Amino acid sequence: MEKLIKSVFDPQLIKKDFPVFKRQVNGKSLIYLDNAATTQKPESVINCIDNYYRKHNSNIHRGVHTLSYESTVMYEEAHKKVADFIGAKDWKEIIFTRNATESINLLAYGWGLHRLQEGDEVLITIMEHHSNIVPWQMLRDLKGIKINVLGVDNKGNLKLDELPGLLSEKTKLVSIIHASNVLGTVNPIKQITQEAKKVGALVLIDAAQSVPHIPIDVNEIGCDFLVASGHKMMGPTGIGFIYGRQNLLEDMDPFMYGGDMIEKVTLTESTWNELPWKFEAGTPNIAGGIGLGAAVDYLENIGLQNIYNHEEELLRYALEKMSEFDWINIYGHKSDSESVGVISFNVDGVHPHDVAGMLDEQGIAVRSGHHCAQPLMHDLSMDYTARISFYVYNTKEEIDLCIETLKKVKKLFG
């Protein structure tokens, strides 16, 4: 990508870095507003993966030959890039996984299965994605732990006044979503972390919707674990990561056992490799990891603060325009609290799948469904919503076109 001058932020210029925007969908230029599901990939990420397979492809940590050495260095370098990106002190605190879901499962098995006892409590919120609910239900059924749930008020914010009542010395883990993939709400994770620490609980942040959009510093937050998915931050699918405090990761048991995660194996016993390899059993997604490193380079080149500011501008613009129509019902965004560029909404009298279908006819990609957050949907008395979500390459003109199409949807169905 052309080196961006940080003060000049031009989404039209950025768009040129993404080959997918050269194509048409249903005869129209693609407008991609489904970024909370997954993001598009810049040329630099695609080229990086292509280049890896063309010139360096080899297994890591297994050979003294040149290609293996190069792959190993590139893969380790990708861990370092992710570590620097989120302010981790050491790259050994970064474990590559398949995605945020696998990251939370790894922690539930590697930490929770061995550390939690009957009667221990895990606190989540009603805003969680299923990936931060179901693994704890598995542990509840296996270990007899209790899951407490912090609710959401009618403005779309966590009921923080109820937090102290849900925390006690029984709370061993507070596992919370940073930015909601339904409401866009950005939760005050630093404050929640401080409260959790008062009762000695560990804190896990599901940053799948925040790491790609907001500058993050794990040490400033004070959390113990943080997870995210590469594909939501312009990286390839099949790669995600865990940040974990080194002493905790060293103390934790592996999740997967076999090659590469060992130091020494005899027929009767084995010892574990150093971090992060102890948690990366078998041949990892080498190309995916290196591609994620390229995505981090791309994001850093633009600057996370620039990304956040741009999305904030799009969000305010879209909310203002959409609120002109009383037949558009928006969920959340009822206060001035911080948000990422995610808007869930419904059109009166029209099923969200029909909304998404008609937008698609105009080349506009949006999501409709329960967004893997059924407990929150239930709380909102809702089964499904349509959802638009922004990223660096979106523009106000695209929002205008989306709203023009929504007007047609309303006319046709409503």
| Catalytic positions, written as ranges | 372
In the complex with ligand PLP, the residue whose CB is nearer, 135 or 363, is: 135
Q: Is 131 in the site for ligand PLP (CB under 6 A)?
A: yes
What residues does 242 pair with on adjacent strands? 95, 227
In the complex with ligand PLP, the residue whose CB is nearer, 87 or 369, is: 369
Cα Rg of the chain (Å, integer)? 22
Interface mask toward ligand PLP for 180-199; x: CB under 6 A: -x------------------
Q: Calculate the dihedral angle through the C-alpha atoms of 150, 153, 155, 158, rounding to the nearest 10 degrees.
A: -20
From the list 50-58, 95-103, 253-261, 347-355, the region that binds ligand PLP by CB under 6 A is 95-103
Residue count at the site for ligand PLP (CB under 6 A)?
A: 12
Q: Is 133 in the site for ligand PLP (CB under 6 A)?
A: no
Using the rule CB under 6 A, which residue among 108, 139, 177, 261 binds ligand PLP? 177
Interface mask toward ligand PLP for 312-351; x: CB under 6 A: ----------------------------------------
In the complex with ligand PLP, the residue whose CB is nearer, 209 or 368, is: 209
Question: From start to end of 187-311, where are the E strands?
Answer: 202-206, 225-229, 240-244, 262-265, 270-272
- Sorted by sequence, the CB contacts under 8 Å of residue 59 that are 6+ apart come out as 68, 71, 283, 286
CB 131 to ligand PLP: min, Å? 4
Q: Are 127 and 182 in contact (CB under 8 A)?
A: yes
Interface mask toward ligand PLP for 359-378; x: CB under 6 A: -------------x------
Calpha distance 186→209 (Å, rounded): 9
CB 371 to ligand PLP: min, Å? 7
From the list 98-106, 197-205, 215-223, 385-393, the region that binds ligand PLP by CB under 6 A is 98-106
Q: Is 99 in the site for ligand PLP (CB under 6 A)?
A: yes
Using the rule CB under 6 A, which residue among 17, 206, 311, 398 binds ligand PLP? 206
From the list 14-22, 79-87, 94-102, 396-404, the region that binds ligand PLP by CB under 6 A is 94-102
Of residues 293-312, those binding ligand PLP (CB under 6 A): none
Q: Which amino acid is at 194?
A: Q
CB 7 to ligand PLP: min, Å? 31
Q: Which amino acid is at 123?
A: L
Q: Are 275 and 250 in contact (CB under 8 A)?
A: yes
Burial of 190 (0-12, 13-18, 19+ CB in 10 A): middle
Q: Is 93 in the site for ligand PLP (CB under 6 A)?
A: no
Sole residue written with tokens 């499904």 = 384
Q: Is 101 in the site for ligand PLP (CB under 6 A)?
A: yes
Q: Which amino acid is at 250?
A: E
Query: Cα dihedral sign for 176, 177, 183, 184?
Result: positive
Sole residue written with tokens 């210029």 = 13
Calpha distance 323→263 (Å, rounded): 59
**H/E/C letters for each residue in 117-138?**
CCCCEEEEECCCCHHHCHHHHH
**How many residues in total does the chain contain?**
414
| Strands 121-125 and 146-150, sheet pairing | parallel
CB 72 to ligand PLP: min, Å? 26
From the list 9-17, 27-35, 84-92, 97-105, the region that binds ligand PLP by CB under 6 A is 97-105
Sole residue written with tokens 């995505």 = 295
Calpha distance 27→126 (Å, rounded): 41
In the complex with ligand PLP, the residue whose CB is nearer, 72 or 331, is: 331
Q: Are 92 and 244 in contact (CB under 8 A)?
A: no
CB 196 to ligand PLP: min, Å? 19
In the complex with ligand PLP, the residue whose CB is nearer, 100 or 218, is: 100
In the complex with ligand PLP, the residue whose CB is nearer, 157 or 181, is: 181
Question: From start to end of 26-170, where are the E strands?
Answer: 28-29, 31-32, 94-97, 121-125, 146-150
CB 209 to ligand PLP: min, Å? 5
Using the rule CB under 6 A, which residue among 72, 171, 209, 362 binds ligand PLP? 209
Q: Is 34 in the site for ligand PLP (CB under 6 A)?
A: no
Q: Which residues bind ligand PLP (CB under 6 A)?
A: 99-101, 129, 131, 177, 181, 206, 208-209, 229, 372
